[in-house]
């Protein structure tokens, strides 16, 4: 265990799986107390259990990032348990497949499915920052990292709602960075490429060849590789970095 995040309290959404889980584990190894918010109580509790079993401090919270009352509770419960909030990783998200619209052209997207992707991936980040900023300011400043995607930077055929939501996350991140600079709060986004998580793994048997052909490294990234970037952005080592969107995609968007 390092001590880079010693004494810090961080809230991680989507902490029950994939990128959120790997980031929570790394933040805890670096000394942070970590609150895990996830739609799946069991998944949040599993990550929290792994952190406490390794000697860290963790809190599992169940709820929906698109529901303002749940998001407000994530923040108040974290502060009630650990005394303050120093950082947040607003990372929970869903893919088009989660709403039955994988590889669906715009002409065929259902409106309710489009709205759900926006509600979770974009409104969820807005609600999180709405409630986190005051708590971070009370702690004297801090850092926020929002999960966008390479889909926040380029278009992807068949993924309109997802692409729109992730472009929105980058705009929201930049605006929050401007508003929060006087409060000593840094706000950045990460833009992962294709990462080996339960969101992507099920598509590999059918779409794997196409995906890997588009990645110069010819492999999926690991959740741990994104976690390293998240840890750095949340740590004081990134003290002059705000309003940025960092790509980690094995070269996908360089083409």
Binding site for ligand NAD (CB under 6 A): 13-14, 16-20, 38-40, 43, 64-66, 91-94, 120, 147, 149, 192, 194-195, 197-200
Bridge partner list, 38: 62
d(CA 232, CA 218): 25
Measured from the CB atom, the residue of 98 and 183 that comes closer to ligand NAD is 98
Q: Closest separation between CB of residue 110 and ligand NAD, Å?
A: 18
For 205, other C-beta atoms within 10 Å of its C-beta total 8
Residue 194 among the catalytic residues: no
d(CA 233, CA 246): 9
Q: Closest separation between CB of residue 135 and ligand NAD, Å?
A: 18
Measured from the CB atom, the residue of 92 and 101 that comes closer to ligand NAD is 92
Q: Closest separation between CB of residue 182 and ligand NAD, Å?
A: 28
Decide: 193 and 249 in contact? Cβ < 8 Å.
yes
Closest CA to 128 of 162, 98, 173: 173
Measured from the CB atom, the residue of 17 and 242 that comes closer to ligand NAD is 17
Burial class (CB in 10 A: 0-12, 13-18, 19+), 237: exposed
Burial class (CB in 10 A: 0-12, 13-18, 19+), 22: buried
Measured from the CB atom, the residue of 120 and 185 that comes closer to ligand NAD is 120
Q: Closest separation between CB of residue 223 and ligand NAD, Å?
A: 6
Known catalytic residues are 162
């Amino acid at each position: 265990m390092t001590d880079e995040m010693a004494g810090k309290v961080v809230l991680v959404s989507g902490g029950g799986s994939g990128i959120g889980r790997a980031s929570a584990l790394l933040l805890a190894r670096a000394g942070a107390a970590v609150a895990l918010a996830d739609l799946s109580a069991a998944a949040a509790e599993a990550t929290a259990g792994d952190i406490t079993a390794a000697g860290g401090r963790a809190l599992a919270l169940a709820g929906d990032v698109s529901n303002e009352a749940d998001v407000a509770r994530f923040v108040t419960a974290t502060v009630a348990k650990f005394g303050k909030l120093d950082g947040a990783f607003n990372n929970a998200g869903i893919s088009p497949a989660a709403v039955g619209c994988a590889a669906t052209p715009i002409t065929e997207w259902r409106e309710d499915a489009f709205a759900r992707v926006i509600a979770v991936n974009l409104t969820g980040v807005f609600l999180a920052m709405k409630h986190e900023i005051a708590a971070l300011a009370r702690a004297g400043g801090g850092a926020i990292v929002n999960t966008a995607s390479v889909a926040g930077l380029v278009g992807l055929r068949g993924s309109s709602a997802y692409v729109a939501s992730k472009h929105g996350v980058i705009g929201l991140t930049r605006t929050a960075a401007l508003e929060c600079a006087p409060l000593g709060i840094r706000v950045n986004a990460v833009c992962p490429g294709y990462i080996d998580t339960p969101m992507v793994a099920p598509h590999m048997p059918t779409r794997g060849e196409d995906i890997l052909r588009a990645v110069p490294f010819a492999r999926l990234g690991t959740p741990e590789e994104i976690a390293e970037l998240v840890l750095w952005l949340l740590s004081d080592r990134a003290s002059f970095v705000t309003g940025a969107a960092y790509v980690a995609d094995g070269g996908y968007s360089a083409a």
